[in-house]
C-alpha cells in the first residue's frame, strides 16, 4: 500500500553525483551539484541547477562555460571537500589534478572518469525555486579509455560515487 511522502523531502533518485568546474578571470572553482540531468539528445545538452548564492553561480552566469565531472568512488574525499568548502574562502582546486578544457575555458578534473565540456544556451530561475537551471550544449566529452567501447561510455564498468 502506498502512503504520502513529504514533498519537500522527496526527490527523484538516484541522482548522479556531479562536480561542476568553472573559471572566470583566471580563477578556477568547482562545486558539488545535486541537480544534474540530460536535457536533450540532439544536440546533446545537460542541465545543472545551481543556487544563486553559491560562489560558482556568478562565474557560470557571466561566462556561460562549465565542465560536468562525474566522480568515481575513489574521489569521495575530494567530492566531500568540494561540497563543504566555498571558493570564496580558499582555492578548492589547489590540490586537485586539473587540465584546461579543449573547447571551453574551464578546468577538467582529470581524476574523474568522465567529463562534459559545456556551453550554456539558456537558463531559467523558477519564481519560487531555489536553483537556477542552466541548460548547456555538450561541446566535448572526455572519458578514461578503459570505460569506452567503440566510443560509447560503458557506465556499468565505472564504480560511480
Evaluate if residue 46 carries a pLDDT over 90: yes
pLDDT for 137-152, tens place per residue?
A: 999 999 999 999 999 9
In a domain, 11, yes or no: no
**Average pLDDT of the residues of the chain:** 94
Which single residue is written with the C-alpha cell 539558456?
A: 122
In a domain, 132, yes or no: yes
Which grid cell is 141? 566529452
In a domain, 4, yes or no: no
Give the pLDDT score at 14.
Answer: 67
Tell me the residue range of the domain where 127 lies: 16-157
In a domain, 73, yes or no: yes
Give the CA distances from residue 11 to residues 64, 74, 106, in Å, rounded to whole numbers and listed in that order: 27, 25, 29
Select the more confidently predicted residue: 4 or 130: 130
In a domain, 6, yes or no: no
Mean pLDDT of 98-123: 98
CATH number at residue 55: 2.30.110.10
CA torsion through residues 90, 144, 17, 66, sign:
positive
Mean pLDDT of 48-56: 96
In total, how many domains does the chain have? 1
Among 1-15, 122-136, 144-158, the least confident range: 1-15
In a domain, 146, yes or no: yes
Residue 110 DSSP one-character state: T
Evaluate if residue 131 carries a pLDDT over 70: yes
In a domain, 129, yes or no: yes
Q: What are phi and psi of 137, to 5 degrees?
A: -80, 135
Evaluate if residue 33 carries a pLDDT over 80: yes
In a domain, 3, yes or no: no
List, as one string, the DSSP characters of 67-99: EEEE-BGGGHHHHHHHHHS-TTTS-TTTTS-EE
151: left (phi > 0), else alpha (psi -120 to 50), else beta?
Answer: left
Amino acid at each position: 500500500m502506498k502512503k504520502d511522502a513529504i514533498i519537500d523531502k522527496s526527490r527523484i533518485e538516484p541522482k548522479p553525483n556531479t562536480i561542476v568546474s568553472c573559471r572566470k578571470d583566471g580563477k578556477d572553482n568547482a562545486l558539488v551539484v545535486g541537480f544534474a540531468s540530460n536535457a536533450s539528445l540532439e544536440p546533446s545538452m545537460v542541465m545543472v541547477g545551481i543556487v544563486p548564492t553559491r560562489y560558482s553561480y556568478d562565474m557560470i552566469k557571466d561566462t556561460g562555460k562549465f565542465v560536468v565531472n562525474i566522480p568515481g568512488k575513489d574521489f569521495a574525499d575530494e567530492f566531500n571537500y568540494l561540497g563543504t568548502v566555498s571558493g570564496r574562502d580558499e582555492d578548492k582546486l589547489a590540490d586537485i589534478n586539473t587540465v584546461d578544457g579543449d573547447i571551453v575555458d574551464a578546468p577538467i578534473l582529470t581524476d574523474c572518469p568522465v567529463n562534459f565540456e559545456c556551453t550554456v544556451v539558456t537558463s531559467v530561475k523558477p519564481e519560487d525555486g531555489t536553483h537556477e537551471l542552466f541548460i548547456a550544449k555538450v561541446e566535448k566529452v572526455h572519458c578514461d579509455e578503459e570505460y569506452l567501447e567503440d566510443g560509447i561510455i560503458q557506465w556499468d564498468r565505472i564504480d560511480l560515487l
